[in-house]
Amino acid sequence: MSTFQVSVNAEGILLLTGELNYAAITAELWEQSKALLAAAPTPIRIDLSGVTHSDSTGVAFLVGWVRQAKKLKKTINLLHIPEQMRAIIRVSGLEDLLPVG
């Protein structure tokens, strides 16, 4: 079972913690995410420093968040992207969609 959580800190930054992989991405997580994105100020700041492991499914989840944010006419800023995720983003050619800085 995956141990992944999304929370919001006092500054409104979305904090992702745990393993962001296939097992973590459930319909419940997606519904929770849509509500959090809708309520978040723009730009939506997402802190990934707490992500302990991610695979390509985790990166695809972030792409889904970017698409959802665009529907809401909001932008996303990714903070503290783990190197493992940076590598997947680069290899997948997603740097324009998910800037890795």
Q: Rounded mean pLDDT of the chain?
A: 93
- What is the structure's pLDDT at 44? 95
Rounded to two decimals, what is the model's pTM?
A: 0.91
Comparing CA positions, the residue from 85, 81, 58, 84 lying closest to residue 2 is 58
CATH number for the domain formed by residue range(s) 4-91? 3.30.750.24
The domain segmentation of the chain, as residue ranges, is 4-91
Comparing CA positions, the residue from 56, 52, 48, 46 lying closest to residue 25 is 56
Instruction: Give the tens place of pLDDT for each residue, 69-93.
Output: 999 999 999 999 999 999 999 999 9
